[in-house]
Amino acid sequence: MPDNILQYLAPTHKPVARTDSEDHNPEYGSGNGGGNDMLDRIKVLEEKTSALAVDVAVLKETVATKESLHKELNSQTWKIVLALVITVLIAVLSKYFIR
């Protein structure tokens, strides 16, 4: 195997041959740190990352958890049971005390 070929693993886990000349392609800024606009791209990515962090924080505050849903369901169940008991009591009391 020649010395100028580096072996990389592709996502298919098959070795892919790559030459050293591909690393310094003038089209991508002569290999001086990943391109002439690398800092601009990093700045944009950092802004997007901070926006994602804010979005995740908002979601954590507003999205219902399993525990909160269970608590609300329990509360509503007791309100319905109480309303039914009061309705039946009113019906029974009206039958015997209102003539």
Per-residue pLDDT reduced to its tens digit, 17-61? 655 555 555 555 555 555 667 888 888 999 999 999 999 999 888
- CB under 8 Å to 34, separation ≥6 — which residues? 28
Residue 10, φ and ψ in degrees, nearest 5: -85, 170
Q: Are 9 and 16 in contact (CB under 8 A)?
A: yes
d(CA 58, CA 52): 10
What pLDDT is attached to residue 75? 96
What pLDDT is attached to residue 60? 87
**Amino acid residing at 88:** V
Q: Are 24 and 30 in contact (CB under 8 A)?
A: yes
User: Taking the model in full, what pTM does it have?
Assistant: 0.41
